[in-house]
């Protein structure tokens, strides 16, 4: 069986770090380089922060992180059952944010650090962000 885990927690700010560390540890065990793990940490932090900030604006809700090892890398999923996104294409654009205080760059980072990136969402039902990342080939010993 491929290695995998699922972490369920409330959408609290302190759990963003928990998700980041869990995904980073999983990626390290799966053979990712230090540089790749840094990218994974940023991407997972951005996805989990979005759940904390945007998915449940009024009260805490469920935040789920899932990681699964693939032959050539990993797939990471962050999902919630919150308010959802009306216009996904618009939300993914650089500098778009529904909060004027924010940069609107979270999705841009997630996409740039993934080999495949997908956002599924339905208003009132929640959001699922899926990131697939390939492991870089280990450097040849010289």
Ligand X SMILES: Nc1ncnc2c1ncn2[C@@H]1O[C@H](COP(=O)(O)OP(=O)(O)OP(=O)(O)O)[C@@H](O)[C@H]1O
Token representation of residue 86: 């009306």
Q: For ligand X, which is the closer residue by CB, 69 or 81?
A: 81
State how far the Cα of 77 lies from the Cα of 70, in Å rounded to an integer. 13
Q: For Mg ion, which is the closer residue by CB, 27 or 129?
A: 129
Please give the full DSSP string across 59-103, using - where no structure is assigned.
S--EEEEEEEEETTEEEEEEEE-SS--S-HHHHHSTT--SSTTS-
Candidates 66, 68, 92, 102; catalytic one: 102
Burial class (CB within 10 angstroms; exposed 0-12, middle 13-18, buried 19+) of 57: exposed
- With CB under 5 A as the contact rule, the residue among 50, 64, 121, 127 that binds Mg ion is 50
The entry of Mg ion, ligand X, none that residue 36 binds, CB within 5 to 8 Å by partner kind:
none
The entry of Mg ion, ligand X, none that residue 85 binds, CB within 5 to 8 Å by partner kind:
ligand X
> Which of positions 31-90 make contact with ligand X (CB under 6 A)?
46, 50-51, 54-55, 80, 82-85
User: Is 136 assigned a catalytic role?
Assistant: no
Largest CA distance in the chain: 57
Place of tokens 């380089």: 33
Size of the site for ligand X (CB under 6 A): 22
Which residues carry out catalysis?
A: 46, 50, 102
Positions in the binding site for ligand X (CB under 6 A): 46, 50-51, 54-55, 80, 82-85, 91, 96-99, 102-107, 127
């Amino acid at each position: 069986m491929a290695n995998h885990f699922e972490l369920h927690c409330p959408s609290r700010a302190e759990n963003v770090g928990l998700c980041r560390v869990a995904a980073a540890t999983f990626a390290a065990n799966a053979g990712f380089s230090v540089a790749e793990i840094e990218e994974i940490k940023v991407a997972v932090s951005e996805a989990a922060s979005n759940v904390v900030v945007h998915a449940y604006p009024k009260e805490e809700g469920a935040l789920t992180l899932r990681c699964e090892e693939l032959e050539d890398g990993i797939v990471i999923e962050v999902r919630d059952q919150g308010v959802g996104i009306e216009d996904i294409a618009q939300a993914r654009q650089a500098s778009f944010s529904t909060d004027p205080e924010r940069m609107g760059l979270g999705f841009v980072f997630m996409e740039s650090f993934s080999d495949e990136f997908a956002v599924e969402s339905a208003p009132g039902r929640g959001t699922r962000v899926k990131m697939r990342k390939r492991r870089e080939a280990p450097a040849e010993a010289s």
